[in-house]
């Protein structure tokens, strides 16, 4: 079976869906449905089973037959609230839980592909998978970086596949439950539909209004990267997963406005609470990803946003 943790969440549900659509009938979704709204992401999905995240750890420790039957763990589950400052909770949820899954996979030589984050780079100007450029701005980024460090240290010389994927700004279907943490593409679409205005921050860190730059990557492309590694079990490491192209928030807003054929941009004051804890520029260096052999092509904002909004439109009918 394939275990997808965080499988009712944004990236996890898209990944579980991709596996099912490719003919896998043994996909087990693991999540925490305390927020029951997420069920809609998997309600139409023919998965083999659903399991609570705490139940998974219990089954792994008590049921050897279950453990041996796992082909791969695609670990997407985490607290992704970059504004969450409860460090104890963040480390237990993102770091400690991931450690337990990693040790299981190493014991059984099970492929372990997990979600890291570009948040590990913080305010860096270069985004290369090297400790020289790793300096997170928040405890979420630290929790992801510390697990990457743990993986690097523990897997030296290991013949088990362990892959960390440092996601940049992912957007796409099934993120509506994320609220404030949903992508700007989702927020801009909602704003244009409701009052005809996409609200962008004024300039910061030397960037003009709405000209802060991020590496926006479509969730379908992220799923393709995960599956490429799943199909190439001899490749391990920590890799950037982004488009390799920085685009502005204005680009995203204009793509949404262009799809609707109406709307305008309004700039609002940059929030005080984000000053000093905000990435104004990200752009994945894809050198190591390409050297691994991964040849997944990433679409730009214009194409990705169009595909995303078409999916939303179809689901709304």
95 is catalytic: no
Q: 144, 121, 143: which is closest to 215 by C-alpha?
A: 121
Q: Cβ atoms within 10 A of the Cβ of 163, count?
A: 24
**Catalytic residue list contains 178:** yes
* Cα–Cα dist 115/195, whole Å: 35
Residue 218 in tokens:
């479509």
Catalytic residue among 2, 114, 121, 140: 140
Is 171 within 8 Å of 216 (Cβ atoms)?
A: yes
CA distance 187 to 312: 13
* Helical ranges in the chain per DSSP H: 10-21, 53-62, 64-68, 87-90, 97-108, 139-154, 184-195, 219-230, 249-260, 287-291, 301-316
Catalytic residue among 50, 89, 95, 178: 178
The catalytic residues are 140, 178
């Amino acid at each position: 079976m394939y275990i997808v943790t965080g499988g009712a969440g944004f990236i996890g549900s898209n990944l579980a869906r991709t596996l099912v659509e490719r003919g896998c009938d043994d996909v087990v979704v693991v999540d925490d449905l305390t927020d029951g709204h997420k069920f809609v992401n998997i309600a139409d999905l023919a998965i083999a089973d659903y399991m609570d995240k705490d139940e998974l750890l219990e089954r792994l420790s008590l049921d050897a037959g279950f453990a041996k039957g796992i082909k791969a763990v695609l670990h997407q589950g985490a607290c992704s609230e970059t504004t969450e400052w409860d460090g104890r909770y963040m480390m237990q949820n993102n770091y400690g839980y991931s450690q337990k899954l990693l040790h299981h996979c190493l014991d059984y030589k099970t492929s372990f592909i997990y979600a890291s984050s570009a948040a590990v780079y913080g305010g860096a100007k270069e985004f290369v998978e090297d400790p020289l450029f790793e300096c997170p701005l928040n405890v979420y980024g630290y929790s992801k970086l510390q697990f990457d460090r743990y993986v690097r240290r523990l897997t030296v010389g290991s013949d088990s596949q362990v892959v960390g994927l440092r996601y940049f700004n992912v957007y796409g279907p099934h993120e509506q439950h994320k609220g404030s943490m949903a992508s700007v593409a989702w927020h801009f679409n909602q704003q244009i539909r409701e009052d005809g205005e996409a609200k962008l921050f004024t300039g910061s860190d030397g960037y003009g209004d709405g000209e802060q730059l991020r590496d926006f990557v479509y969730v379908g492309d992220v799923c393709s990267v995960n599956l490429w590694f799943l199909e190439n079990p001899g490749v391990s490491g920590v890799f950037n997963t982004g488009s390799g192209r920085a685009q502005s928030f204005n680009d995203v807003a204009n793509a949404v406005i262009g799809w609707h054929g109406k709307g305008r941009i309004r700039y609002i004051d940059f929030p005080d609470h984000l000053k000093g804890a905000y990435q104004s520029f990200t752009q994945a260096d894809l050198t190591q990803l390409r050297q691994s052999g991964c040849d997944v092509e990433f679409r730009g904002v214009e194409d990705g946003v169009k595909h995303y909004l078409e999916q939303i439109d179809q689901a709304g009918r």
